[in-house]
């Protein structure tokens, strides 16, 4: 009976993984209006999903405000391997957005 329990655990994990892969992921994430803690939860989940989808470039829209969201996003991205980031350009949201580029070698 132990083997049966083990196989159901493996099956459950496989289904969970499938759910993650099948999730809809946009090319941009808008975190304007969120508190830093909840915004960072969304950003971490978003970056993971972007990696699973093999996206090359995405945008995180944090707005201007006090700058707390931008600062938190940049601190997190600095620690992440396999990506680079910059503030948005003239037609990408300017300083209110961060453009994340995933390096080919990571994907």
pLDDT in tens, 69-96: 999 999 999 999 999 999 999 999 999 9
Percentage of residues in the chain with pLDDT exceeding 90?
Answer: 74
Is pLDDT of 107 > 90? no
Band of pLDDT at residue 1, cut at 50, 70 and 90: very low
| pLDDT tens by residue, 11-22 | 555 556 555 556
Which residues, in sequence order, are CB contacts of 81 under 8 Å at separation 6+? 106
Please tell me the predicted confidence (pLDDT) of residue 87. Answer: 97
How far apart are the C-alpha atoms of 61 and 43, rounded to whole Å? 10
């Amino acid at each position: 009976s132990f083997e049966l329990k083990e196989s159901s655990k493996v099956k459950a994990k496989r289904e969970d993984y499938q759910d993650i892969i099948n999730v809809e992921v946009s090319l941009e994430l808008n975190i304007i209006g969120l508190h830093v803690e909840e915004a960072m939860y969304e950003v971490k989940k978003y970056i993971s999903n972007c990696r699973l989808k093999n996206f090359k470039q995405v945008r995180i829209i944090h707005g201007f405000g006090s700058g707390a969201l931008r600062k938190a996003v940049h601190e997190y991205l600095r620690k992440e391997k396999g990506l680079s980031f910059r503030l948005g350009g003239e037609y990408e949201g300017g300083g209110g957005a961060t453009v994340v580029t995933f390096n080919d070698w990571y994907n």
